[in-house]
Structure 1
Amino acid sequence: MPNHCSPSQCPDWATALLNGFSQIFLQRHPLCGLLCLVAILVTAPALLGGALLGGVAGLLTAQRRGYAKEHRQAGLFSYNGILLGLLLSLIFPWSVLLPLLIIASAGLSAMLTQQWLKRTPGPRCLPAYTAPFVGLGWLLLGFVPQAPSPTSLDMTYPSLLAAPLNGLGQVMFLDHPLAGALIAIGLLIANRRAAAWALSGSVAGLVFTGLHQDTLQALSGLGGYNPALAALALGQQRGQPWKPLAGILLAVLLTPGFAALGLAPLTAPFILACWLVQATERLWHQASLDTAPCTLRGNHPRLR
């Protein structure tokens, strides 16, 4: 008997959990998820336990409450829990209470995701993305004293080359270019188009933060992860490059606003940028229907 299994041969729970890791980057691909998990293991092993616990807690909550199996297997109830597990492991020291906090927050994120899915069944509805993670993350960060400012980074050619990869890693609070490289390989395996847009968004964030904010934000990838996610989410359809480009622009412009409000950006700029682009597209589509000739409007299947 073999001692290991390929992602397609793994048990349902393992596939669902790996899909949860890949869903952080809007993919459903177990091997991509495995490389995301390895990125945590290699560059920030202290965060791995919290990530796994959060993902399993979200998955078990969905299973116990009878949520749709297709959504569980896709990882839709795990990825917010994984992000919460990473965040809580990063801001709190390990203690007896920390696993309970991760389990509770990840389970609640799964319930919030289910409510969103129930109320937005149509393809033109706004997706939840990482909204449960952001809402619960802001609530939890309210109990944490402000962290000291990190030291600065020097502008060198190696640091510039590593910065776009850091942008990918910062999606999961990983500040090492090796983490970004593993994630980029996972995206290439899952979807080459997605990988190209993600790196393009991270580079755009690097340029913007380098010109308008500070070197630390740029080189550490803190300005790149939101535009990278926006490009990933909006660049899935061919022939519509304006959507990811608009998402990148909005994400980089919105990020400083959250800091000005005293809120940790987390992935909120990415969510808001995507919602604005999708809402605008829907308004344009509706306006084109309203201004079409009556005969054309009458023949449109949505207007019958």
Structure 2
Amino acid sequence: MPNHSSSTHCPDWATALLNGFSQIFLQRHPLCGMLCLLAILLTAPTLLGGALLGAVAGLLTAQRRGYAKEDRQAGLFSYNGILLGLLLSLALPWSVLLPPLIIAGGGLSAMLTQQWLKRTPGPRCLPTYTAPFVALGWLLLSFAPPSPASASVEMTLPKLLLAPLNGLGQVMFLDQPLAGALVVVGLLIADRRAAGWALLGSIVGLAFAVLHHDSAQALSGLGGYNPALVALALGQHTRKPWLPLAGIALAVVLAPGFAALGVAPLTAPFILACWLVRATGRRWHQAILDTAPCALRGNRPRLR
């Protein structure tokens, strides 16, 4: 995930942990991470312990194994652990096995992230995004009891207006508008452009769910969080709006396929959409480079 400027007023370990929370939304900004942490505390305090445990497990694993300090401080080894801690705290009942499971998941996610970083050093390589979280999440969810089906929700104008905020909160499994509002404030502090793209992605996902008469998906934000993440990943660092718009459309189209297969989408539609757009853009760029010399030879004198 991208790295942005970070504060130097916190101890190194605190900065790393807060950056881990902000990296869930592809930012490197401790204050943004603090607001994400506050969103969990205020709207789902029972999930906070799992999130912190996953973050610490990922960070300590990276420290003990000597991974690059810059990557540790950026939060790159913590955000997958945070998401796993949130997911397991939500999906599994409390037991003495839950904390060790979260610790193991957070540590393993850090090791998977490091292997990915080692094998994809160039800026044109595909980023890892939340791939370790998705892979480990699917594995661990196979041992969880099935979640109850979503009940139909009455669609009202106030709920519809707040639904885009729910889409941002659902990135961290939070379905409260307050959580999404705190995330938006954090994104505005970190990068106003990122906040705009995130809201746009969530709105597009909401519109798609409404068009398909899925009120539960629409109002809970479950249809908006993957498009919001795609918009963040592809929109905040490019001046080509067609790239994030294409990614948003792909995420919206891919998400129902996972539900049809009986698999929890998690953030897989976000990852696949971003990878497809990046890979296509890279191939297109390479094709232009391959054909440009021929065009030059046909229209201009050959230079020595």
TM-score calculated relative to the size of structure 1: 0.94
- The separation in 1 between residues aligned to 2:49 and 2:288, in whole angstroms, is 51
- The separation in 2 between residues aligned to 1:242 and 1:23, in whole angstroms, is 24
Provide closer, same or farther for how the CA distance between residues 295 and 249 of structure 1 changes in structure 2, counting only shifts above 3 A.
closer
Paired residue for 1:87? 87
Paired residue for 1:302? none
Q: Partner letter of residue 232 of structure 1?
A: L
Q: CA deviation at 1:234?
A: 0.1
Matches within 5 A, 1:189-204: 189-204=189-204
Q: CA deviation at 1:152?
A: 2.1
- The separation in 2 between residues aligned to 1:232 and 1:163, in whole angstroms, is 18
- The separation in 1 between residues aligned to 2:41 and 2:100, in whole angstroms, is 22
Q: Partner letter of residue 41 of structure 1?
A: L
Q: CA deviation at 1:295?
A: 8.9
Question: Matched residue of 1:25: which SS?
Answer: coil
Paired residue for 2:207? 207
| Percentage of identical aligned residues | 80
Deviates more, 1:231-240 or 1:80-89: 231-240
- The separation in 1 between residues aligned to 2:157 and 2:46, in whole angstroms, is 30
Q: Partner letter of residue 32 of structure 1?
A: C
Paired residue for 2:300? none
Cα deviation, 1:221-243, whole Å, max 9, x if unaligned, reads 00000000000000022421111
Q: Does the 8 Å contact 2:205/2:252 carry over to 1?
A: yes
- The separation in 1 between residues aligned to 2:246 and 2:294, in whole angstroms, is 32
Q: CA deviation at 1:9?
A: 1.1
Matches within 5 A, 1:15-94: 15-94=15-94
Paired residue for 1:105? 105
Q: Partner letter of residue 277 of structure 1?
A: V
Cα deviation, 1:5-62, whole Å, max 9, x if unaligned, reads x953110000000000000000000000000000000000000000000000000000
Cα deviation, 1:146-188, whole Å, max 9, x if unaligned, reads 1111322211111001100000000000010000000000000
Q: 1:289 aligned to 2:301?
A: no
Task: Could you tell me which runs of 5 or more consecutive residues in structure 2 were left unpaired when the two chains were aligned.
Answer: 1-5, 298-304
Deviates more, 1:235-244 or 1:28-37: 235-244
Matches within 5 A, 1:224-239: 224-239=224-239
- The separation in 2 between residues aligned to 1:237 and 1:57, in whole angstroms, is 30
Cα deviation, 1:67-125, whole Å, max 9, x if unaligned, reads 00000000000000000000000011222111100000110000000000000000000
Q: Partner letter of residue 210 of structure 1?
A: V
- The separation in 1 between residues aligned to 2:195 and 2:9, in whole angstroms, is 25
- The separation in 2 between residues aligned to 1:281 and 1:257, in whole angstroms, is 24
Q: CA deviation at 1:213?
A: 4.8
Task: Could you tell me which runs of 5 or more consecutive residues in structure 1 were left unpaired when the two chains were aligned.
Answer: 1-5, 298-304
Paired residue for 1:159? 159
Q: CA deviation at 1:212?
A: 1.8
Q: Does the 8 Å contact 2:92/2:145 carry over to 1?
A: no
Q: Partner letter of residue 167 of structure 2?
A: G
Paired residue for 1:180? 180
Q: Partner letter of residue 290 of structure 1?
A: D
Matches within 5 A, 1:110-189: 110-189=110-189
Q: Partner letter of residue 118 of structure 2?
A: K
Q: Partner letter of residue 44 of structure 1?
A: A
Aligned pairs, how many? 292
- The separation in 2 between residues aligned to 1:280 and 1:239, in whole angstroms, is 17
Q: Partner letter of residue 166 of structure 1?
A: N
TM-score calculated relative to the size of structure 2: 0.94
List structure 1 runs of 4+ shifted beyond 4 angstroms. 294-297
Question: Matched residue of 2:292: which SS?
Answer: coil
Paired residue for 2:302? none
Q: Partner letter of residue 215 of structure 2?
A: T
Paired residue for 2:3? none
- The separation in 2 between residues aligned to 1:11 and 1:93, in whole angstroms, is 34
Q: Partner letter of residue 77 of structure 1?
A: F
- The separation in 2 between residues aligned to 1:203 and 1:239, in whole angstroms, is 20
Q: Does the 8 Å contact 2:19/2:28 carry over to 1?
A: yes
